[in-house]
Amino acid sequence: MSKTKDIREAVEKELGFDPLVDPASIVVKIMNGQVALNGTVPNYPQYLEAAAAAQRVSGVTKVHNHLEVVLPPGDQRDDSTLTTAADTALAQNITVPYGVKATVKNGNLTLTGTVSYGSQRTAAESAVAGLTGIRHLKDDIEIENDADPLDATQLIQDALHRHALVADDSDVAVDAEGKALTLTGHVRTLAEHDAVISAAWMANGVAEVRDNLSITG
């Protein structure tokens, strides 16, 4: 059995194992460790969870999520109703700063506004991702912070050394240029990759993270 077939079957099994995913209309394709998910799912949380399930599989180096959200008739919402629901969810989330707003067109939701940290932008996404009626989510939130990320590079390296998912002998390097951080080096899995990216976004003053990491698989 080829490695490609092994990975595809493992991804299919993981999709079937995950109780939050209905894999009936999902087609999995593999090329050189990269996974493409094609087909349809009935809601946006399943769109996200299917990709997360594929990322958990050993040997997967990248996931291309081409799934389409096809809402059941009972889950469809008009744009004004969905916009109101999204703005209410944002306002009720204590982690999301005032001024972050949602706009909706044909069920596609876009977030705009300004936050100070990448974690606040992630919180805004999480606040609205589970709303009934969303077909897709686009994040146009800007990060503005007066802090200098040069001061954060060593803090990020220290955080990576503490992280359970990052190898003790990791060669990941962090370089700052303006408000941008560039990550280079090697990680073993997508889980380790995501842990490194998350640590970088937690740093004060970071407005952009450039991902030049290589996944060894």
Domain ranges, ordered by start, for the chain = 3-69, 76-143, 149-215
Question: Could you count the other beta carbons within 10 Å of the beta carbon of residue 99?
Answer: 11
pLDDT of residue 157: 82
Task: For the domain covering 149-215, report its CATH number.
Answer: 3.30.1340.30
CATH of 76-143, one of 1.10.150.20, 3.40.50.2000, 3.65.10.10, 3.30.1340.30: 3.30.1340.30
Tell me the per-residue pLDDT of 83-133, one tens digit each, with 9 for 90 and over: 999 999 999 999 999 999 999 999 999 999 999 888 999 999 999 999 999
Q: What is the per-residue burial (b if ≥16 Cβ within 10 Å, else e) of 66-82?
A: ebebebeeeeebeeeeb
pLDDT of residue 1: 39
Tell me the per-residue pLDDT of 125-171, one tens digit each, with 9 for 90 and over: 999 999 999 999 999 999 888 777 666 777 888 888 888 888 888 89
- How does the average pLDDT of the chain come out, rounded? 92
Tell me the residue type at 33. G
As assigned by CATH, the class of the 3-69 domain is alpha beta
Share of the chain above pLDDT 90, in %: 67
Share of the chain above pLDDT 70, in %: 97
pLDDT of residue 2: 60
Give 178-200 as a DSSP string. TTEEEEEEEESSHHHHHHHHHHH
Considering the entire predicted model, what is its pTM? 0.86
**pLDDT surpassing 70 at residue 79:** yes
CA dihedral 151, 153, 157, 160 (to 10 degrees): 100
